[in-house]
Amino acid sequence: MARIETPYYLIDEKKLLKNLKVIERIRESSGAKSVLALKCFSTWCVFDLMRKYMDGTTSSSLFEARLGYEKFGKETHAFSVGYSRNDIREMRKFADKIIFNSSSQLELFHDEVRGQKLGLRVNPGISYSHFDLANPARKYSRLGVLDKRKIMELSPLISGVMFHFNCENDDFANLAKSLDHIGEKYGILLKKMQWVSFGGGLFFTKPGYPLAEFCAKMKEFSGKYGVQIYLEPGEAAITQTAELVTTVLDIVHNKIDIAIIDASLEAHMLDHLIYRTTAKLASPSPGLHKFMVAGRSCLAGDVFGTYGLKKQLKIGDEVRIADAAGYTMVKKNWFNGVPMPSIAVKRLNGKIEVARQFGYEDFKDNLS
């Protein structure tokens, strides 16, 4: 095939399928259903594949809920930190379950959605996160209801609860302990419910994760309290499935060789800038030649990282940034008017398709 003009995100369906098979195993072994967290990944050109292994989608806004309903189908779960009245009225058209973040929102809008399956987010006061920024139970957290008395008072209005308290938790022992804590603290509430969501942030697709123990724990919890468990994988569903393919535009030197590529960390992989993490490279291979790889925006800190590479980079070389699916395409932006990466998919049969390209008109229409 002809070379695709860089930059572009390349999603590999074979790698995606590997994660989806894990999700399928969890459903078969534990009974827990999985709904895709669209806040992490909304690239619907691969939903046909994901739909076969997942039970639907979960959202953080009206637009995400509508996208899940229209492009994924199956179950459509809606959550928002704050609904407007218009959000609620529109959400009734799309959502199978509407989950409220606060007791006040549930009380305010209950009559608007009477007869639908409603849920309430509970803040269990415990969490797992490597970053305070993403810690759902951080000090002064606005996420979920803490007042157990109030939750019990409102329990007749809801059919389920959500405990979203993890971020990239790959520690099964910690999770098992947390589930025991939730059971002990909220057992009476759970026995009144039809379903419970444990949210996302569970890294069960990480190599070596104890899946058998995880499935056994989920099945045990579900049976003990008589609830259908939902998981909301985002990163776990799409980790290590995509690359950001770029080209070196220039090499400059300031005490270190710096390769400037035709992409931008701030515009195309923003989470690395937010969390101050270093992007990993899929290629070139590691070696002894030290290079900084930097973006083309005017931001001084637009730097993907500093690497030891197998070869010295030169203008025109290809650089592939690894793990470029989660929280990347959903956050891409037009900072500096830097060209937006195309979206391409390597299908299961090996064929590469360009699903979407962006141009000046997209940039212009982003504003007014």
CA 309/CA 312 separation, integer angstroms: 7
> Are 73 and 215 contained in the same domain?
yes
125-170 per-position pLDDT tens digit: 999 999 999 999 999 999 999 999 999 999 999 999 999 999 999 9
Residue after which a domain boundary falls, among 206, 238, 270: 238
Q: Are 263 and 303 in contact (CB under 8 A)?
A: no
Predicted confidence at residue 2, as pLDDT, reads 63
Least confidently predicted of 2-6, 37-41, 216-220, 306-310 = 2-6
> Are 318 and 202 contained in the same domain?
no
> Are 132 and 44 contained in the same domain?
yes
Question: Residue 165 belongs to what domain range?
Answer: 13-238
Of 325, 340, 356, nearest to 40 (Cα)?
325
Number of domains in the chain: 2
Residue 299 half-sphere exposure toward CB, CA atoms < 13 A: 18
Mean pLDDT of 9-25: 98
Say if residue 1's pLDDT is above 70: no
Residue after which a domain boundary falls, among 238, 257, 280: 238
Predicted confidence at residue 3, as pLDDT, reads 85
Predicted confidence at residue 199, as pLDDT, reads 96
% of the chain residues with pLDDT over 90: 99
200-221 per-position pLDDT tens digit: 999 999 999 999 999 999 999 9
35-86 per-position pLDDT tens digit: 999 999 999 999 999 999 999 999 999 999 999 999 999 999 999 999 999 9
Phi, psi of 344, rounded to the nearest 5 degrees: -125, 155
Residue 243's pLDDT band (cuts 50, 70, 90)? very high
Query: Is residue 1 domain-resident?
Result: no
> Are 40 and 151 contained in the same domain?
yes
78-94 per-position pLDDT tens digit: 999 999 999 999 999 99
Of 80, 51, 85, 55, nearest to 65 (Cα)?
80
> Are 60 and 145 contained in the same domain?
yes
% of the chain residues with pLDDT over 70: 99
Distances from the Cα of 220 to the Cα of 30, 37, 62, 147, 202, angstroms = 8, 24, 34, 27, 18
Residue after which a domain boundary falls, among 209, 238, 267: 238
> Are 159 and 40 contained in the same domain?
yes
CA 122/CA 118 separation, integer angstroms: 13
